Amino acid sequence: MSLRHIALFAAIAGVTTGIYPYFDTQDFIYNIPKVFRISITLDKLLEYYENKPSKDPEWYIAVELARGQMEYVINELDKSVPLKLKENLQNLTRRMDRIRNNTDVGRFVYRSKDYEYVAKALLDNMASVADALEPLTLGTVGTQKPYRFGFEQYVQEARTKMPSRQAADACMMQMLLTVLDGQTDQSDTCELTPECSQQLITGSALAFQQTTRIRAAVLARHFDCLDAMDLPAHIYKLCIQVYKEAKSLEAWDHPAGTRTLFMQQINYCATQGYGEFIKPRWMNKILAWQEGRGCYADERQPFMRLTGFVGPASGAANPDRQEEYKLKKAAESAGGTCNSLSSAMALGSLVVYVRALLESDQAFQYDILE
């Protein structure tokens, strides 16, 4: 175990002692077959990227976070967990170590200078960032109904929302710069300009604009930014909206290009401790979406452009793009190109499921709440 791991583990353990609030019974042993199933999926996913290293920092960040969580869960395993399952989980961590070992960080490809700064800042602080995990709590975001409107309208609505990916990268860089480059002459470090505050904090959001806000808020909390704000309450409100949205995506039968978003929603909000995101039905979907090769695929470019997250933000729908989107939809069935962000979100969400299943006998009780 490297020093880094020890630090990572210590960081996680420090924050999450007492993560087993419901550990009176051993009902969770019924979850063991599900964890076996997940571990097989994770093994295939990691094997794919062990053989084909990704140049996407998001994948690497996801592996680092998953590694920390897996370490934690293995160390806390109940005695009744079969040895074979423990071995499976340990083998997964070894694959993660080999992926890390095979990764040439110098060859990462960044979508922009701003994003490069943000990604490097995250990787440099990974040991502490990985402790953002919260214990699962029961029934916290309430019963939410899917939107009444349809997917087409959702896409139109999303176009009016902030921030775009570009703006989010710029604002995240601005925030992290003040934390990490030690502008100690100011007492009020780590604040956002009014423009960035509007982009990241205020207002409503949907789609990737919304998950981007969650990530920004989680990091802001982590780095003690925006201390005038009640960030946990802010994240809670966002996850309520996200839950509604995830249910809507499901009700619309997961339109092309939205799976990554769906897995990201589960990943971010379950990691924040919101138990409604842990559902057997959703777990089965994520497992089923794995490509035969082991990776995850999702052609989300048309979706991101249609929702205004990337590309020129214009209020009006572009008929060409609608057409392109329909074509993509039609072409989708044959099995897609491996996508590192989709794979990263699958990894992240499935590891949270492993934790939930092994750490609480109530992890899968949430379905009955709706």
Ligand X SMILES: *[C@@H]1O[C@H](CO)[C@@H](O)[C@H](O)[C@H]1NC(C)=O
> Which residues form the interface with ligand X (CB under 6 A)?
84, 87-88, 91, 97-98, 101
Of the pair 88, 144, the CB lying nearest ligand X is at 88
Q: Which is nearer to ligand X, 27 or 47 (CB)?
A: 47
- Report the alpha-carbon distance of residue 253 to residue 251 in Å, rounded: 5
My answer on whether omega of the bond before 163 falls inside 30° of 0, hence cis, is yes
Closest separation between CB of residue 348 and ligand X, Å?
A: 22
User: Which residue in 273, 53, 242 sits closest to 146, CA to CA?
Assistant: 242
Q: Which residue's CB is nearer to ligand X, number 88 or number 128? A: 88
Name 13's Cβ contacts closer than 8 Å, sequence gap at least 6: 72, 75
Rg (CA), the chain: 20
Q: How far is the CB of 5 from ligand X (least distance, A)?
A: 11
Whichever of 95 and 221 has its CB closer to ligand X, that residue is 95
Least distance to ligand X from the beta carbon of 39, Å? 9
Q: How far is the CB of 101 from ligand X (least distance, A)?
A: 4
For 45, the token pair is 């996913």
Q: How far is the CB of 342 from ligand X (least distance, A)?
A: 25
Of 44 and 98, which CB lies nearer to ligand X in the complex structure? 98
